Amino acid sequence: MIRVLIADDEDMIRTALATLLALEEDLDVVAECADGESAVARALELRPDVCLLDLEMPGIDGVEAAARIRQRVPARCVVVTRHARPGVLRRALSAGVDGFVPKSRPADDVAAVIREVAAGRRYVDPEIAADALSDERSPLTDRELDVLRAGARGETIAEIAASLHLSAGTVRNHVSSILGKLGLATRQQAAITARERGWI
């Protein structure tokens, strides 16, 4: 029996998926969570075989939840998403995610993916994989991406500098470089663009 934890902030989707997966003879849904934080806590408590995590949840997203779970529990993690951007796939794979599936797939397919990853294999939706291979990489440096992440919620230059242990002048230089490379006018626009392309 494969023990499955499901995390999705959309109640109807989470409940429907749990109900459909519970019909499978070899799958046992042991927990349903509405956000990434509770998914991590329940995974540590229940130690499921596979965690099925929605990418976009309040607080920490599915990729971050997967990374935290895998640090402390030998669970396999599958991320499901409505917006399968190639940059997010790269981030998921580097975080140790074992499967990446669009929400448009039927429950039978999701069950098959759960079996695949539970057996130790990795699964990436072919269409997402093809897009990832053709997608351009971020033109921003790792440090520039750090600056965007640190300011993603509208933090001031001083707050970003403090969190990254940099001077305010250095952060301003990074912001200027980011805006120049992306051809944008504001840091907020740059953060939105980077998020949409899966760079942060």
Domain range list for the chain: 2-133, 142-196
Q: Are 151 and 38 in contact (CB under 8 A)?
A: no
Prediction pTM value: 0.70
pLDDT score of 123 more than 80: yes
Query: Which DSSP string do the residues of 103-144 spell out, in sequence order?
Result: TTS-HHHHHHHHHHHHTT--EE-HHHHHHHHHSPPPSS-HHH
Name the amino acid, one letter, at 56. Answer: E
The fold of 2-133 is Rossmann fold (3.40.50)
Range of lowest pLDDT (28-32, 42-46, 154-158): 154-158
Within the chain, residue ranges assigned H as helices are 11-22, 36-46, 62-72, 86-94, 107-118, 126-134, 142-150, 157-164, 168-182, 187-196
5 φ/ψ angles, rounded to the nearest 5 degrees: -105, 135
Q: Are 139 and 87 in contact (CB under 8 A)?
A: no
With both helix axes pointing from N to C terminus, report the angle between 62-72 and 36-46 in degrees, rounded to the nearest 10.
Answer: 20
Q: CATH number of the domain at 142-196, out of 3.40.50.300, 3.30.950.10, 3.20.20.60, 1.10.10.10?
A: 1.10.10.10
User: pLDDT of 150-163, one tens digit each?
Assistant: 988 889 999 999 99
Higher-pLDDT residue of 179 and 194 is 179
Q: Indicate left, alpha or beta for 120 from its phi (over 0: left) and psi (-120 to 50: alpha).
A: left
Helix (H/G/I), strand (E/B), else coil: 184: coil
**pLDDT grade, residue 134 (50/70/90)?**
low
CA 19, chain centre distance (Å): 24
